[in-house]
Amino acid sequence: MEEKVQNREKPYKYDVCMYEFTQKECLRDHMRIHTGENPYKCDVCMSKFTVKGTLNRHMLNRHMRIHTGEKPYKCDVCMSGFAVKSNLREHMRIHTGEIPYKCDVCTSDLTQKEHLRSDMRKHTGEKPYKCDVCTSDLTQKEHLRSDMRKHTGEIPYKCDVCTSDLTQKEHLRSDMRKHTGEKPYKCDVCTSDLTQKEHLRSHMRKHSGEKI
């Protein structure tokens, strides 16, 4: 699978996609995209990565900032802080109303790519995440994390206001909204403001007449 080309700036070529690389290590890392190999595993959330550098960034952005409380990414509208840039990007859609993802099966409009993946798994029945302890098959990575915490007893999130200990990040967000009074989800029919997306879904069913 590897071909070394002499007298060229990028001597390592992968003959499946014809990408060329300056270093043998870069070729090896790239090959994992095609093979699906993810040899680097996060011990905290069980996420897997093809490259060690990506695991290191993941550890810094996703986990270390939970302990340090660092939130370098700020929303210019409501001044909410985030540890990860992608979380800020998703948060901004609350203010802009942007809904960039649509399910081709049920035509649901979704704000996050991960939500689209989860929605598609409802239709396909795919459950790609398996618990190594109880062998449960799960549709979402977050569900796997929650399942693992049942086994380990880990409670990684703490509210700085009321010191509640919480197992899920979304529960921390909901708890914080009780203290701040933030209600980011707005009903387009009656303009009610709600703290959680699930509350908005239930509220919308009242207008549509759909059984809850």
Q: 45-61 pLDDT, tens per residue?
A: 777 888 888 888 888 77
Helices (H) and strands (E) in the chain, counts: 8, 15
Distances (CA, A) of 43 to 58, 66, 90, 174: 11, 15, 26, 26
**Mean confidence (pLDDT) of the chain:** 81
pLDDT interval class at 11 (50, 70, 90): confident
pLDDT for the residue 8: 55
Residues sharing a CB contact under 8 Å with residue 212, sequence separation 6 or more, in sequence order: 202, 205, 206
Q: Is residue 100 classed exposed, middle or buried when 0-12, 13-18 and 19+ CB atoms within 10 A define those classes?
A: exposed
Residue 2 has pLDDT above 60, yes or no: no
User: 39-98 and 99-181: same fold?
Assistant: yes
Mean pLDDT of 93-121: 86
Q: Is the pLDDT of residue 1 over 60?
A: no
Domain 99-181 has CATH 1.10.3720.10: no
User: In the prediction, which pLDDT does 5 show?
Assistant: 44
Question: Residue 185 has what pLDDT?
Answer: 83
Question: What's the pLDDT tens digit per position in 187-203?
Answer: 888 888 888 877 888 88
Report the alpha-carbon distance of residue 205 to residue 148 in Å, rounded.
33
Structure confidence at residue 3 (pLDDT): 47
Domain ranges of the chain: 2-35, 39-98, 99-181
- CATH tag for 39-98 (out of 3.30.465.10, 3.40.50.300, 3.40.50.2020, 3.30.160.60): 3.30.160.60
Position with higher pLDDT, 124 vs 1:
124
pLDDT at 212 over 70: no
Average pLDDT of the segment spanning 133-150: 85
Q: How many CA atoms lie within 13 A of 78 on its CB side?
A: 16
Model pTM above 0.85: no
> Please, are residues 20 and 13 in contact by the beta-carbon 8 Å criterion?
yes
Q: Closest Cα to residue 103, out of 112, 90, 93?
A: 112
Residue 80, judged by CB atoms within 10 A of its CB (0-12, 13-18, 19+), counts as buried
pLDDT of residue 86: 82
